Amino acid sequence: MSLDLARIRAEFPILATEVNGRPLVYLDNAATTQKPRRVLDASRGYYESLNANIHRGTHHLARAATAAHEEARVTVARHLGATSPDEVIFTAGTTDGLNLVANILPVHEGDEILISTLEHHSNIVPWQLLCERTGAVLKVIPCDDAGVLDQEAFRQLLSERTRVLAIGWVSNAFGTVHPIVEMIAAARQVGAFTVIDAAQAAPHFAIDVAALGADFLAFSGHKTYAPTGIGVLWGRREWLESLPPWRGGGEMIKEVRFEGTTYNDPPFKYEAGTPNIEGAIALAAALEWIQEIGLEALHAHEDDLIRRAATQLSAIEGIRLFGPEDRCGALSFAIHGVHHYDLGTLIDQMGVAVRTGHHCCQPLMARFGITGTTRASFAAYNTEEEVDMLAESVLKAARMLR
């Protein structure tokens, strides 16, 4: 079940870019993926033939744009296994979705919010802000030296005080995949809300929210081959109906009077203001594109690449690979005596694009006593030859820098 890479690559115009006269090797996919023609066409097509503000419009374009926007919601719902499109809230991205949840959950003084050492800042700071507002307490699940969560410590941290478990499914820094189905089940047993940051899961494997058992799940379009500025927050219908709105404005209301306002039904209750209409339509195009590639084949391909990269890089003297052997999407490493920034800058000159630094995971870096790593991350269009170029360029750069 291998991918037709020549065909896939031909769909991404940006992959023809040259850097310093060399072909671009784009291995910064955990930061953002490139966009296939299908998605670019959907964005452009929207502005060329559909553009109008949606909902409440009586004219032809307003109706057509509304229909396309709501069809996009149906596509997302199907992609996630949601029971209804009403459970799909369009957001600006994962950060926006997580902030929304952190602002509507009923959390009180003394409640505990449980996150993990491997969280992205966007699944830390909204909860810290919530704790500051309410007097709730942030608790952190520790990890071992491989970047794997300590499940025993997790069970011990769970109690009737645990109000929320907010956890990333896949670590953007180390590629660790957490056993979230079991963790969600355990958290639900103590009556906690469960919130999943699926920013790094959505690009790599199928998500079935019905099977997961979580209450909320957020991801970003731009990491799943769609544009920036669009994302999804899936929420259980019962919560979207019973919890309060967050942002106020147009579209999220039923009736506004100066004496008081009544709110729209979900998902509109959580979508104040004019949404990113083109983004939603392009996101649906991206998810359809992923479905056509097939998430299983995609995952198998990326798994081959990441294992090849790990094998080749581990031959380099003084290298340390972070994360467990079963990584998903991202491979982080450090080379003794070489600063990650210098390494990233040098291999960029050889055409290889990776990310260096703390990857918005400063507490994780602190846990490992480092300031950052070099991270290569993979997508559908990457090839074995590109992995070889990564390893070659890292070896060359390390020799020059040491």
Note the maximum CA span of the chain: 71
Q: List CB contacts of 287: < 8 A, sequence separation 6 or more.
A: 75, 76, 79, 224, 226
Three-state DSSP at 248 gives coil
Tokens of 193: 């809300």
Residue in 131, 143, 328, 360 annotated catalytic = 360
Question: Of the two residues 198 and 321, which places its CB atom closer to ligand PMP in the complex?
Answer: 198
Which strands, in side-by-side order, build the sheet including 112-116?
88-91, 231-235, 216-220, 193-197, 162-168, 112-116, 137-141
Distance CA 30, CA 378 (A): 7
Question: Of the two residues 33 and 43, which places its CB atom closer to ligand PMP in the complex?
Answer: 33
Give the nearest distance from C-beta 283 to ligand PMP in angstroms: 12
Question: Of the two residues 151 and 228, which places its CB atom closer to ligand PMP in the complex?
Answer: 228
- Give just the sign of the alpha carbon dihedral 220, 224, 227, 233: negative
CA 384 to the chain's CA centroid? 24
Q: In angstroms, what CA-CA distances link 329 with 44, 85, 131, 263?
A: 29, 28, 32, 40
Distance CA 339, CA 361 (A): 18
Q: Using CB under 6 A as the criterion, which residues of the chain lie in contact with ligand PMP when the complex forms?
A: 30, 93-95, 120, 122-123, 168, 172, 197, 199-200, 220, 222, 360
Question: Of the two residues 250 and 357, which places its CB atom closer to ligand PMP in the complex?
Answer: 357
287: amino acid identity, one letter: L
Nearest to 27 by CA among 15, 36, 39, 13: 15
Question: Of the two residues 93 and 266, which places its CB atom closer to ligand PMP in the complex?
Answer: 93
Give the nearest distance from C-beta 221 to ligand PMP in angstroms: 8
Question: Of the two residues 63 and 121, which places its CB atom closer to ligand PMP in the complex?
Answer: 121
Annotated catalytic residue 360: yes
Distance CA 198, CA 76 (A): 14
Catalytic residues: 360
